[in-house]
């Protein structure tokens, strides 16, 4: 599936603009993580872009989130590793990620929402004014953007062999590069 087809599919299923932006941010993050870790950039980016494909359909049933996406993508002949990474990323299922791609998506996708929250408390509300230091400080505040589950994000350094600071740096840069698309 090409990037263009994937974006079209995403927009067909997801009408919530905030979620589309979250998917674009996760795509950018996954692409840059793949680059850093010498992995398949297109594959990782596609997993990021499509990971919340069933969001609108499962909003009220978190236990179904990612399972419907799995069904849709399986039928579209998407790479099985992408499909499994997307299925596993919903921690509610309690499935342990195995491959590097699965581990990356599982442990880092919440970072994008966390970075949005940090940007929104800046006077300018702009990503360009966010620093890695800001992220590290806000991450320590347990009640700040509590939806960005610290216990999941804290798995990322060990999973990826990068420090939390490096991961935040990659995530922040990835999002700053597409700040116009993110409206931040």
Q: By the criterion CB under 5 A, which residues form the site for Fe ion?
A: 52, 109
Q: How far is the CB of 19 from Fe ion (least distance, A)?
A: 8
Question: Smallest gap, in angstroms, from Cβ of residue 176 to Fe ion?
Answer: 19
Q: How far apart are CA 153 and CA 2, in angstroms?
A: 29
Distance CA 167, CA 102 (A): 16
Q: How far apart are CA 184 and CA 153, in angstroms?
A: 22
Give whichever of 85 and 100 is closer to Fe ion, judged by the CB atom.
85
Q: In angstroms, give the least distance from the CB of 155 to Fe ion.
A: 16
The residues, any chain, with a CB within 8 Å of residue 122's CB and separated by 6 or more, are 129, 130, 134
Pick the closer one to Fe ion by CB: 56 or 129.
56
Q: How far is CA 81 from CA 15, 48, 69, 169, in A?
A: 26, 12, 13, 26
CB closer to Fe ion out of 21 and 43: 21
Q: Please, what is the minimum distance in Å from the beta carbon of residue 21 to Fe ion?
A: 11
Q: Which C-beta is closer to Fe ion: that of 128 or that of 178?
A: 178
């Amino acid at each position: 599936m090409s990037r263009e087809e994937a974006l079209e599919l995403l927009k067909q299923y997801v009408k919530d603009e905030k979620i589309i932006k979250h998917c674009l941010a996760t795509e950018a993050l996954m692409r840059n993580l793949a680059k850093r870790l010498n992995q398949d950039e297109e594959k990782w980016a596609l997993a990021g872009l499509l990971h919340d494909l069933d969001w609108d359909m499962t909003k009220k049933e978190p236990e179904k989130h990612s399972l419907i996406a799995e069904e849709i993508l399986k039928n579209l002949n998407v790479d099985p590793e992408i499909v499994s990474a997307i299925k596993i990323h919903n921690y509610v299922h309690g499935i342990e990620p195995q491959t590097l791609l699965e581990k990356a998506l599982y442990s880092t996708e919440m970072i994008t929402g966390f970075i949005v929250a940090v940007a929104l408390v800046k006077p300018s509300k702009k990503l360009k004014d966010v620093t890695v230091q800001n992220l590290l400080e806000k991450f320590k505040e347990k009640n700040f953007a509590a939806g960005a589950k610290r216990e999941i994000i804290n798995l990322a350094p060990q999973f990826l062999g990068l420090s939390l600071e490096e991961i935040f740096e990659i995530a922040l840069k990835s999002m700053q590069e597409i700040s116009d698309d993110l409206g931040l």
